[in-house]
Amino acid sequence: MPGWGVPAHVHGEAVRKALIEARPAGASLAQLCRATKRTPSQVWAGIRFLRKIAAKEGLPPVTHARSEGFQLSEDPEVWVAYERAIFTTELHRIGNVITGIIAPHAKREPSDEWVRLVLEQLGGVKATLEVLTRMER
């Protein structure tokens, strides 16, 4: 199917149908491409669209796990596991920004108001992400 100019909601509907058919299992990107007859970028456009409209449309979130692939699961445990994985990724990303970019800036310019503000704010974000990744449900 030629995808130039096809709106994201069209791809999203095809991906939604494929994920519903795959329930309770998930589907890999390759499986979604085959099931929807779309390219990987079109499937991704559909996934992004579904993630934007999920709450408004009463859909469960589109989650992903290496073992299950993409899912439209009704299980809150699946949602929490995905959210924790995202928080873990962001925790590592923020930690790398602090260590590799902000800390050297702070060391070279300790009186720089900007870098002090950034360190304080990102330190708070990092602490919050640490709590979220460690919380028991």
pTM assigned to the model: 0.85
Which pLDDT tens digit goes with each residue over 55-71?
999 999 999 999 999 99
pLDDT of residue 5: 82
- Could you tell me if residue 1 is inside a domain? no
How many structural domains comprise the chain?
Answer: 2
Pairing mode, strands 69-71 and 63-65: antiparallel
Range of the domain at 116: 76-134
* Half-sphere exposure of residue 80: CA atoms within 13 angstroms, side-chain side: 9
For residues 51 and 84, membership in a common domain is answered with no
- Could you tell me if residue 130 is inside a domain? yes
For residues 64 and 113, membership in a common domain is answered with no
> What's phi and psi for 18, nearest 5 deg?
-65, -40
Q: Rounded mean pLDDT of the chain?
A: 94
